[in-house]
Structure 1
């Protein structure tokens, strides 16, 4: 959790389901190790007047607030129980935190004994946890983008994605604001994908501007449009069309206009180096990245700019990611790279 308070509620989505999702019940608690929770902290989550709810196809639901004291950086455990099969799940693939699955109703289990079966690093149905009450921050920063924001390449289970590290920096500096991670690995600015979500220009209002208390959005997106441009098959998810710098600039302007229309400040981040990521680099693609970054850097349309391109580049090759920040594939950042982004973004925030 990036924020503290005295009440919590969860948001569930069936945006991509094929049938209504019937949730029998849910609990939330302070987490310990594995699937365990702290005794005395388990709270029943209610929806309206009951514990059960139905999430219609293409819709979402929000639980009633439950009284649970939370401190910023606490870990919470949410347990969802489905008495009958849920059907295809709306989920976040690269969650980087362990999810445990087991047969039966284990909402009130304190230990991990029942959860010795399937695990994953994905999150199912849950799209957010809202905190309110005494101590809750008055506003939020939304980190919006693709796998760089999502945290791919950082250490799983360590909460070292750049938005996590940004939250820690803000907390240590006394700035009372929460950070929301709205990154999706593989996401594009201009094209939908059956694997990597709706295009950024489509999901921006829902995933960024509709977050409770949003004050600032940090936009870092475009590398997948550029690097995968011209692929006959984008990692098993269909053809990927080539894009031009003017196409991408127009889309960034659309995001800026949408944010300003509702009084939200928007920070633009230049697209990070991609030279050594297999299949993403060519002289033509690099020219598109350079043109887009030049506009972000000097166009004067973002309220502030974080120049990650120059910050993360190899001193000997400006098109390549510097080795100290490389997770190993030439594109995604390790924990040190995520920390560097967090520090740069924190300086751009008011």
Structure 2
């Protein structure tokens, strides 16, 4: 499976299934606790957004989760972490089966996160950007008591604008660098990435969070790239002007979030490293997975509380992680 097209820039296939699960069911899929299954991989930054939002909002029982293994082949993600290699609820070995149940001629990416309708076994949506917004808005009746408002009405325009730049230059920017097929394409992506990180660092020098004085959707979207930066993007994707740990403001910001319930307790660095270094064989043909970096620094003091703000606004932290969803602790 090839990720790099020699001589070309990387272009992400963004043809997602955009059906929505809504409170009024206008797309034919009403919000119903227990009806759907959120399929993720802890390796994937796009899926990790959904894992974090689900936990912060307390949707674990309303929207059960299936965790695919960290590696996949050209066909799809597999449920090799489960007994007999099958998801115990959907009964399938590969996520591809749920996509083909929706559309037998499906010819696009079999991506995570995906939400599957359990009664029919069909994928409803893999529109990752919309999935987390709808968790905040459409699933509100099923939020836990004290759930934070991650997409407050007064800040939505600013959050959307920040998210757009983060996606273009950071979330997708690391991939544009890592999968660049020419020196020129790589240099363009590299320059845009670090210019944006410098701007974000300046923004965060006087504000604990990206928008407002509490965690929002924007912080979650930036965090899932930052938490992977030193482990994979710095070396594997050649984003090597500096490590995250060498950018003081962003490093302290990322540690602040990592140490906040709902963030670091969803991160599995082993899954992250195995995915990138084993799946991207055209970049890392040896299949050697690095032993480092040292992860203990994620638990160092960050001193970001001095900037004010409260992580959950007027809400409260989520409770302990359910044992069946726990990840290895640092």
Q: Answer whether TM exceeds 0.5 for this pair.
A: no
TM-score normalised to structure 1 length: 0.30
TM-score normalised to structure 2 length: 0.32
- Greater percentage in helix: 2
- Greater percentage in strand: 1
User: RCO (CA 8 Å, sep 6+): is it higher in 1 or 2?
Assistant: 2
